[in-house]
Amino acid sequence: MSTNLPEFVPPGTMEVLFSKEQIAERVRALGKEISEEYAGQAIVLIGVLKGAAIFLADLARSIEVDNTFDFVAVSSYGRARVSSGAVKLIKDIDNPIEGKHVILVEDILDTGLTLSYLRGLMLQHKPASLKIATCLDKPERRLVPIEADYVCFKIPNSFVIGYGMDYAERYRGVEDIRIMPENPPGH
Ligand SMILES: O=P(O)(O)OC[C@H]1O[C@H](OP(=O)(O)OP(=O)(O)O)[C@H](O)[C@@H]1O
Ligand code: HPA
Ligand SMILES: [Mg+2]
């Protein structure tokens, strides 16, 4: 673990891409869509730690159908802005999902490496169905072909923080989604 952190950039100085109000509105709309599509069924939401924790917490509270949640943890970015390409499973699901309707929940779909790896892994468990919900989709950066079924916002190729998303583990608790400047001092 390095303690040599880059200089702290106050999040309030960063450009807002989506305000907390805009996020809340889209998350509610997604919850409604999911509730309608899975009416009368039970679903398992699988959040991808750590980034998806906040989106999953809000999404689960906007879903009216019977639902449970679980988490997996993977990592590929570490402290970098660019994916290393190698996705590593750090924590598997706690409960079996065979025969269940599963939605993988992510904060951001970027190169697609994380979700395509996880989708393959989850399919081995033979769920009844498997869909993907992501708060953000950055389609320009895709390295592997993968699309989400539920998306709050499509975004251009900027590095964003907040609403669960980090830069060097910071800023996950920032309520808006903001653009991390390219060359802040010390970065
Ligand atoms: O589509 P990709 O290029 O794979 O990028 C998306 C993934 O990268 C980030 O997670 P990260 O591995 O940095 O860990 P974190 O969730 O703990 O921030 C993000 O939360 C997604 O899980
Ligand atoms: O833009 C991003 N921000 C934070 N984490 C990320 N992981 C992939 N893309 C991003
Ligand atoms: Mg993540």
ipTM score assigned to the predicted complex: 0.98
Length of the chain equals 187
Ligand 2 centre and the CA of 17: distance in Å? 14
Task: Tell which one of 18, 159, 161, 171 to mutate to probe ligand 2, the residue whose CB is within 8 A of the most ligand atoms.
Answer: 159
Which pLDDT value is given to residue 4?
72
Residue 163: the pLDDT is 98
110, 137, 166, 176: which one is catalytic? 110
Contact of 177 with 16, CB cutoff 8 Å? yes
Nearest to 138 by CA among 126, 128, 152: 152
**10-133-73 Cα angle (round to 5):** 65
Q: How far apart are CA 81 and CA 183, in angstroms?
A: 12
Ranges of residues in the chain whose predicted pLDDT is under 50: none
Rounded CA separation 155/99 (Å): 34
pLDDT of residue 182: 87
**Can you give the pTM of this predicted structure?**
0.94
Token code pair at residue 8: 């702290």
pLDDT given at position 75: 78
Report CA Rg, the chain.
16
CB 10 within 8 A of CB 185: no
Residue 117 confidence (pLDDT): 94
The pLDDT value recorded for residue 6 is 84
pLDDT in tens, 100-135: 999 999 999 999 999 999 999 999 999 999 999 999
For the chain, list the domains and their CATH numbers.
13-179 (3.40.50.2020)
Residue with the smallest CA separation from ligand 1 atom 20 is 51
Residue 183's pLDDT is 76
Asked whether 129 and 122 are in contact (CB, 8 A), the reply is no
Ligand 1 atom with least separation from CA of 109: 1
What pLDDT is stored for residue 12 in this prediction? 97
CA 172 to chain centre: 12
Told to judge if 110 belongs to the known catalytic residues of this protein, a careful annotator would answer yes
pLDDT at 2: 53
